[in-house]
Each structure stands twice: as structure tokens, then as C-alpha cells.
Amino acid sequence: MLEKMAFIFLTIRKNVFQWFAISFFFTVIYYMVLMLSLILRFGNLPNYVNEFNWVENVKTIINSTPSLLDTVMIVKDEWVFEIGYMNYDFGSGISEWSLFFAPAKILGVLFLGCLIATNYLLLQRQRRVCTDACASVSSAASGFGALCVALASITMSWVVCCSTPTWVVGLAMMGLGVSTSLWLEPMGLWVNLLGFSVLLGAIFAAAGRGRGASIILN
């Protein structure tokens, strides 16, 4: 295990610029895709932006919530920005859809990007000596894990789903029944954990094969 971790860190250090670039651009592209999917799905450009005092809100949550676990769970969903479309056909207006930016969620997506970048670099070494089938299995496992985390990290709201910013809004937009989507909502944490677990497993597996590849090549 320690040898694999050392090999992972060595691989990142040798390709640190590429690792940072993949991690950063994945995060940016992820939120761009979410925004683009909302625009294409509903056919409206965003027409409002809300900014929230995240620091003060977090201080208030910490001071007024006695349970540490409850504090963490509330803070992770606290927003800093909201971009959406307001329909003014209904009096003062109603938000039909919006995309929320929560620092905790952004860090989670950035961490996902770091794992994807790490696995990508390890797979480059693995492909030098491994069969195509072996590399394909590693890629498939990484893709499945990334998909789980990406879905569970969605922070969109849709008026049909009671305007609740949650990961299942994306499922509802793709055609899954609203009631079924809301029923799945509590499983978001487990979907996240499953995705990260599969990704980490794929990374350590690739590190073992990549380390063997380095020994053979050297």
C-alpha cells in the first residue's frame, strides 16, 4: 500500500502541471456543462444572478447549530452564487430553473477532477505494457466512479421539483419521474461514496500495474 502511494505521488510530481490543468479544467467544464444543459433543456438564457454572504451565513450556522454533524451537513449545501432564469409572467416572478454554486460542492468536484487526473496519468504508464482489455477495465471503472460523483454533485433546481437544489433534478430533467427522483434524493451521499470508492480503487489498481510497468521498462 505504501509503495503504491509513493508511486502515485511520484507520478503526480513528475506531471504536476498536467495534473493541475486536468483537475482545474475538469471543474470548469463540469459547471459549464451543467449550465449549458439547463439552457438547452429549457430554451432560456439566465437572466439573474444572486450572490450570498457565504462567510456570514456559515458563522450563523455554526453559532446556532448545537450538533457538529448537523452543522457540517448544513454548511456543505450553503451557496455562494446562484444563476438562473426568472419567469416574470407570474407577478413578481418565479425562478423556473437555477444553478447553485456551493463551495463545499465545488471542492468535491475539484477533488473528483484530481482523482480523474491521477488515474489518467497512471493509465498512461499502464498502457505501455498492459493489454487493451486491462486498460479498458480500468478506464470503465474510473468512468463509472466519476459518473456517480458527477451526478451526486449536481446543484440545480427546477420549479417542477419544488425548486429544491439537489442532485436528482438532473435525473428528473433527463426524463425520470419527479416523484421517483425525489425518492432517490436521500441516497446522494451513498452515490458519492460509491463513486469515490470505485475511483480510489481504480487508482490503486492502476498504480500497482503502473509500478510493474515501470520496473519492466527500466
Neighbours of 44 (CB within 10 A): 14
> 88-138, pLDDT tens digit by residue?
887 778 888 899 999 989 999 999 999 999 988 888 765 555 555 566 677
Enumerate the H helices of 65-184 as residue ranges. 68-75, 103-126, 132-152, 168-173, 178-184
Whether residue 209 has pLDDT greater than 70 = no
Q: Record the pTM.
A: 0.84
For 51, the enclosing helix (H) or strand (E) is strand 48-51
- Residues 23 and 120 sit within 8 Å (Cβ to Cβ): no
